[in-house]
């Protein structure tokens, strides 16, 4: 059997969490957590270096029997789509540790344990090739996330954590039912690859499609099941927000890509117009909500709804450009919105205010901070030359091919994005100085810069030279399209 690289990547954070429990000193805890996450990230780079971009087949696969009687195996493997998100998760992992360095000052050990547990489970979700194993990781993620929001969150943390838990649990229950139905209709196996090859009757596909839709839509989140998101984001500590926006929201979209499209191709094609419309609704509605916010965190949270609308829009165009753009936008949103939450956290640590009205003229007080904030703001509004523009252009181009009206609505969302993001930046960074004078604000320090720089690199790298990223996902996307269109009867 080959070297179990994926198991290592998934379980190193878990092992790290176990080690942390033995430590007593907060600084030791921080440095150990950082070491573990950096090691995990290094392994991911090794993984990408050995990743074969010429095939859509699952790579680095590991299979061990687990519960043979039920056909449950411990199976891991990645294709181009999951590889990108394993990488993103590991990247944000150590950035989260850095972002919590001083922001978390009580129960540091418990926090870092939750963070590492969360990371292990998220990586597990992206690597799992067995539906049951996937479900275990998927459900277990709820616990550390609930704890991170509920213990280290803001004043309304208990309400927010509970709301988050209820919404996702409700979605997950439907998912569980779907999994069981799939198990019995799909030849009593949990093997994801085998299930993809099944040709289910359209009626079953339809029911499963809606069960999955609700489960995944809550995670994305799509309008109208999005209301947990702003609460969770506002209350969560910075690292929690980064994980939520950077990785957790991607799980829903990943669910569509891994289950709905390949396993339920007929239903996916049949309901694609519905999904496109829901996505366009999320884009515009999320944008309008963001426009009305005074709270920085809420603004970024609502912008996520709009941006994730672009992701689901791209996915359900069911054409090459749309899908590639949607997946690239998932990665871009993780980088950019993760960075924006980091920036909100950084300034909150200094001023203890998230209200845009309190700010103004920050450029004078913290030039480096505002310069990088400009970069990520522009990236979020998809300025040409940044990562999101490439994704947005692909998604829109795919959307116009699929449905002109939906494409036009999405463009309206892009305009709204420019409005609320530039408006936010103008009020915070420019204009007459307000809070920058009242408080002595120090600019970013070296630790914070280390967390910011890699994200900035990806903004420009994907923006100008997205080829390596498109090469990774390319074969898998093309394969996914053949699965949808040949099995779904389209084209």
Partner 1 sequence: MDPVISIRPLLAVAVAGLAALAVLVLNNREKLRDLVSPLAAIAMFAIVASMAPTVLAGGTVDLRLFEILPGIDFAFRVDALGMVFATVSSLLWIVAAIYSIGYMRHLNEHAQTRFFACFAASLAAAVGGAFAANLFTLVIFYEVLSLVTYPLVYHHEDEEGWTGSRKYLVYLMGASKSVLLAALALTYHLAGSLDFVPGGLLAGVDASPALMTVVYFCYLFGFAKAAVMPMHAWLPAAMVAPTPVSALLHAVAVVKMGVFCVLRVVFHVFGTGLVDGLGLGIATAYLVSFTILMASIYALTRDDLKARLAYSTVSQLSYIVLGAVLLSPVAMVGGIIHIAAHAFSKITLFFCAGSIYCASGKRNISDMAGIGRRLPWTMGAFFVASLSMIGVPPTGGFVSKWYLALGSVEAGEIAFLVVLLVSSVLNAAYFLPVSYVAFFGTETQESPATVREIPMVTIPLVATAILSVSMGIFPGYFLTLAEGVVR
Where does this chain bind partner 1 (CB under 8 A)?
321, 378, 381-385, 390, 392-394, 396-401, 404, 407-408, 411-412, 414-415, 417-419, 422, 426, 430-432, 464-467, 470
Where do we find the tokens 């699929």? 402
Q: How far is CA 301 from the centre of its chain?
A: 12
Comparison of 117 and 381: residue with beta carbon closer to partner 1: 381
Q: How far is the CB of 48 from partner 1 (least distance, A)?
A: 20
- Rounded Cα distance between 491 and 488, Å, is 9
Q: How far is the CB of 44 from partner 1 (least distance, A)?
A: 25
| 3-state percent helix, strand, coil for the chain, nearest multiple of 5 | 75, 5, 20
Closest CA to 438 of 353, 370, 371, 377: 353
Two tokens, residue 406: 């939906």
- Residue 156 phi, psi (nearest 5): -95, 30
- Rounded Cα distance between 107 and 229, Å, is 25
- Please, is 432 exposed, middle or buried when counting C-beta atoms within 10 Å of its C-beta (0-12, 13-18, 19+)? exposed
Q: How far is the CB of 299 from partner 1 (least distance, A)?
A: 17
- Rounded Cα distance between 243 and 219, Å, is 13
Comparison of 46 and 404: residue with beta carbon closer to partner 1: 404
Comparison of 98 and 381: residue with beta carbon closer to partner 1: 381
Q: How far is the CB of 262 from partner 1 (least distance, A)?
A: 24
- Rounded Cα distance between 333 and 395, Å, is 13
Comparison of 50 and 431: residue with beta carbon closer to partner 1: 431
Report how far apart, in Å, the C-alpha atoms of 10 and of each of 89, 225, 358, 391, 452 are: 11, 30, 42, 28, 25
Q: Residue 92 in contact with residue 238, Cβ under 8 Å?
A: no
Comparison of 42 and 404: residue with beta carbon closer to partner 1: 404
- Rounded Cα distance between 11 and 163, Å, is 29
DSSP 144-191: HHHHHHHHHS-TTHHHHHHHHHHHHHHHHHHHHHHHHHHHHHTTS--B
Comparison of 339 and 409: residue with beta carbon closer to partner 1: 409
Q: How far is the CB of 51 from partner 1 (least distance, A)?
A: 20
Comparison of 266 and 324: residue with beta carbon closer to partner 1: 324
Q: How far is the CB of 393 from partner 1 (least distance, A)?
A: 6
Comparison of 115 and 381: residue with beta carbon closer to partner 1: 381
Torsion angle, CA of 393/398/404/406, rounded to 10 degrees?
-80
Q: How far is the CB of 385 from partner 1 (least distance, A)?
A: 4
Q: How far is the CB of 465 from partner 1 (least distance, A)?
A: 6
Closest CA to 313 of 304, 303, 299, 323: 323
Residues with Cβ < 8 Å from 28, sequence gap 6 or more? none
Query: Please, which residues bridge with residue 62 across strands?
Result: 76
Q: How far is CA 90 from the centre of its chain?
A: 12
Comparison of 255 and 407: residue with beta carbon closer to partner 1: 407
Q: How far is the CB of 115 from partner 1 (least distance, A)?
A: 36
Q: How far is the CB of 3 from partner 1 (least distance, A)?
A: 34
Comparison of 186 and 309: residue with beta carbon closer to partner 1: 309
């Amino acid at each position: 059997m080959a070297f179990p690289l994926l198991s290592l990547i998934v379980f190193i954070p878990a092992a790290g969490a176990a080690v942390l429990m033995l430590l007593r000193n907060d600084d030791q805890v921080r440095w150990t957590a950082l070491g573990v996450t950096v090691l995990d990230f290094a392994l991911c780079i090794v993984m990408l270096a050995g990743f074969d971009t010429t095939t859509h087949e699952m790579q680095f696969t590991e299979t061990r029997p687990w519960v043979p009687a039920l056909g449950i195996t411990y199976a891991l493997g990645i294709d181009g789509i999951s590889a990108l998100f394993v990488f993103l998760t590991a990247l944000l992992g150590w950035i989260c540790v850095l972002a919590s360095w001083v922001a978390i000052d009580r129960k540091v050990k418990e926090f870092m344990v939750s963070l590492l547990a969360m990371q292990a489970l998220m990586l597990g979700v992206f690597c799992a090739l067995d539906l049951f194993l996937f479900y275990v990781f998927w459900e277990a993620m709820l616990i550390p996330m609930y704890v991170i929001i509920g213990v280290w969150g803001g004043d309304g943390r208990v309400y927010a954590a509970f709301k988050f838990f209820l919404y996702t649990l409700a979605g997950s229950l439907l998912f569980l039912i779907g999994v069981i139905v799939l198990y019995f209709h799909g030849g009593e196996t949990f093997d994801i690859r085998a299930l993809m090859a099944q040709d289910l009757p359209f009626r079953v596909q339809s029911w499963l499609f809606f069960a999955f839709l609700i489960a995944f839509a809550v995670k994305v989140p799509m309008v109208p099941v999005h209301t947990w998101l702003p609460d969770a984001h506002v209350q969560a500590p910075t690292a929690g927000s980064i994980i939520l926006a950077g990785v957790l929201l991607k799980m829903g979209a990943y669910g569509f890509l891994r289950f709905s499209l390949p396993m339920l191709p007929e239903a996916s094609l049949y309901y694609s117009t519905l999904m496109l419309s829901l996505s366009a609704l999320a884009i515009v509605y999320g944008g309008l909500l963001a426009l009305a916010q005074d709270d920085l965190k809420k603004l970024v949270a609502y912008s996520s709804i709009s941006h994730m609308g672009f992701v689901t829009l791209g996915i359900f165009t069911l054409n090459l450009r749309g899908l590639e753009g949607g997946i690239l936008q998932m990665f871009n949103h993780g980088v950019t919105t993760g960075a924006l939450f980091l920036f909100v956290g950084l300034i909150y640590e200094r001023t203890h205010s998230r209200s845009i009205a309190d700010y103004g003229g920050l450029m004078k007080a913290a030039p480096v901070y505002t310069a990088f904030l400009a970069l990520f703001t522009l990236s979020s509004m998809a300025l040409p030359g940044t990562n999101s523009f490439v994704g947005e252009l692909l998604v829109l181009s795919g959307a116009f091919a699929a449905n002109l009206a939906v494409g036009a609505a999405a463009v309206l969302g892009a305009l709204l994005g420019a409005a609320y993001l530039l408006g936010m930046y103008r009020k915070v960074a420019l204009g007459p100085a307000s809070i920058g004078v009242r408080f002595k604000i120090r600019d970013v320090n070296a630790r914070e810069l280390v967390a910011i720089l890699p994200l900035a690199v990806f903004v420009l790298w994907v923006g100008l030279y997205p080829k390596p990223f498109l090469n990774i996902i390319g074969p898998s996307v093309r394969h996914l399209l053949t699965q949808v269109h040949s099995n779904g009867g389209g084209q």
